[in-house]
Structure 1
Amino acid sequence: MPKMEFITILMLIFLYPFALGELRVGFYNSTCPKAEDIVHDVVQRTFNQDRTITGALLRLHFHDCFVKGCDASILIDSTKGTKSEKEAGPNRTVRGYELIDEAKTILEKTCPSTVSCADIITLATRDSVALAGGPRYTIATGRHDGLTSKSSDVDLPGPDLSVSKVLQAFTAKGMNVREMVTLLGAHTVGFTHCSFVKGRLSDPNMDSDLQAGLGKFCGGKNDTTVFLDQRTGFVFDNEFFGQMMKQRGVLTLDQNLALDPSTRGVVSEFAENAASFRESFVDAMVKLGRTGVLLGNQGEVRRNCRVFNKMSVE
């Protein structure tokens, strides 16, 4: 084999993954070495002022990945011609956009057009979980940002659906029953609005003390928020599952996880074994973060997370 041909083959072997694009841990080690530290610092500052940011980022991440993949399409602002994903009903109470903007602004000054908004969401969510007492884990990066964002594309499972219906949505994304229960366990640091709770106040499956307390708290006209874990709402732990086993689920879906035969066993396991939940959560989050990612020449790396770089988008 001629020497030049041999060298060309070697170059293809080593460079092909980079041309094609791939997710890998430490993706920015050479192009933006401080990327993950910058994101962590922004998350830390926000968490110090608002500990509910963990639940907000988990929801932001989930709502992004479950539409067209983890491509930061949820961050795009609407234009006169197109209503973005932000405008869809399930996303109107999503929070955390300002944190992503802050991290992106710093990263653009440090490493222009290098770190994607999709990776910022993934890293920020990971870091916020650890700050709330959850597991610290490594996550692969290298995602690109999407080129479309339409409210009509948003079709997320709601909190009043049956377990079987929600499982269909998770299965469509490649998730199994255990992974569904695990990811819904993020509700351990989540909260909801009273408007989603009022329908539960006459449910015989709700603990009477919780029922009375929520009845008073949500009895007014204001649509206030209530923790989904009534005991340790600021802490990422397995208490949420213990509450479900005691019929103290705030949302219909949450309580049904402990009642439905297909999920009750997993809820019981996680309620009794915190380590099992933490391990499953890491695996499920890593898998979620790979959903429908754009790599290589796909998508773009936005300079502003709220606006597409390219004008020729759908």
Structure 2
Amino acid sequence: MAFNLAFLSSVLIILSAFSPVITALSSNYYDKSCPNVDQIVSNAVKKAAANDRTVPAALLRMHFHDCFIRGCDASVLLNSKGSNQAEKDGPPNISLHAFYVIDNAKKQVEASCPGVVSCADILALAARDAVVQSGGPNWDVPKGRKDGRTSKATETRQLPAPTFNISQLQQSFSQRGLSLNDLVALSGGHTLGFSHCSSFQNRIHNFNATHDVDPSLRPSFAASLKNTCPINNRPKNAGATMDPSSTTFDNAYYKLILQGKSLFSSDQALLSFPKTKNLVTKFATSKEAFLDAFVNSMIKMSSITGGQEVRKDCRIVN
């Protein structure tokens, strides 16, 4: 399903929360300089996803984590160098993977249009294609981002944590020019992927002084999570899928929140505020409403910019 949004034909201008520079993006930015870029990136994602079903979730998460630090500038792709630990080596990003997909796409794009397309644009396109490959909506990605030259692991503490409450989530998103609507819509990306026990153990062990388990969790679901993630002798890489259809982009995530079967405290927190609770209910009831909102919020988030160059290699600055 393609979403033909009228405003995509015009220039999108978003003021980055990380830079005083206003950058113009356009869906036809590469029409003359690299007309095949969308297809090249799409093919790279499709090939990788065919060999590894975890790739779409990885690419979508990678794009989120990139945009929430210094804007969508591909700083998450840079390797650590010397004494500088890059974003990808920060604690919240240790489990990021599938960087090779962006490397492969960049190599093919460079062969077709050398020195033209930024890594940040490739990552934004790959995130869109990850959603499409998972059965989700298609949309025109505004392009024209530049790649950043700075990447610091210490800055990954700015990422919204799975333990955040609604106030912390609202603050994190508003600092990036994103609304409560964007918060709930973008949280729907949790319909894809897998979480390690460490991201939700606070809800199933020693929750507070009176409850070992978060009482908002459905008891049977909490019991299954405790069995998967015991407090002692936990298997390495143990965890749970974000929802039973974790390789399909759908609205099951919102239904699970209402059923007390969400993994993260930050997921459950969406029910603690009237506006966000109403949106969760709306998206759980209407897949179409969710998909429309997700597309709009993805375009808005991915238009937060902050880079300075077009890298030749996504892992190192020029």
Q: TM-score under structure 1 normalisation?
A: 0.87
**Which residue of 2 is the match for residue 237 of structure 1?**
250
Per the TM alignment, residue 211 of structure 1 is displaced from its structure 2 partner at its CA by 1.2
Q: Distance in 2 between matches of 1:42 and 1:293?
A: 26
2:162 pairs, out of 151, 154, 159, with 159
Code of the residue aligned with 1:303 in structure 2: it is K
Deviations 1:261-297 (A, max 9, x none): 3411110110001110000000000001111344xxx
**Which residue of 2 is the match for residue 224 of structure 1?**
238
Code of the residue aligned with 1:215 in structure 2: it is K
Q: Which has the higher mean CA deviation after the structures are superposed, 190-199 or 171-180? A: 190-199
Per the TM alignment, residue 21 of structure 1 is displaced from its structure 2 partner at its CA by 6.7
Code of the residue aligned with 2:239 in structure 1: it is T
Per the TM alignment, residue 227 of structure 1 is displaced from its structure 2 partner at its CA by 1.0
CA-based RMSD: 1.6
Structure 1 residue ranges (4+ consecutive) displaced by more than 6 angstroms after TM superposition? none
2:190 pairs, out of 180, 187, 191, with 187
Aligned 8 A contact 1:23 1:141 in 2: yes
**Which residue of 2 is the match for residue 177 of structure 1?**
180
Code of the residue aligned with 1:209 in structure 2: it is S
Per the TM alignment, residue 166 of structure 1 is displaced from its structure 2 partner at its CA by 1.1
Q: Distance in 2 between matches of 1:173 and 1:195?
A: 26
Residue 303 (1) aligns with residue 317 (2): no
Residue 62 (1) aligns with residue 76 (2): no
Q: Which has the higher mean CA deviation after the structures are superposed, 189-198 or 40-49? A: 189-198
Q: Distance in 2 between matches of 1:227 and 1:144?
A: 34
Q: Which has the higher mean CA deviation after the structures are superposed, 171-180 or 259-268? A: 259-268
User: Which blocks of at least 5 consecutive residues in structure 2 are unaligned?
Assistant: 1-21, 205-212
Code of the residue aligned with 1:242 in structure 2: it is K
**Which residue of 1 is the match for residue 202 of structure 2?**
199
Q: TM-score under structure 2 normalisation?
A: 0.86
Q: Which structure would you say has the larger Rg?
A: 1
User: Which blocks of at least 5 consecutive residues in structure 1 are unaligned?
Assistant: 1-19, 310-314
Q: Distance in 2 between matches of 1:26 and 1:174?
A: 24
1:214 pairs, out of 205, 221, 225, with 225
Aligned 8 A contact 1:54 1:128 in 2: yes
Aligned 8 A contact 1:76 1:86 in 2: yes
Code of the residue aligned with 1:225 in structure 2: it is G
Q: Percent identity?
A: 37
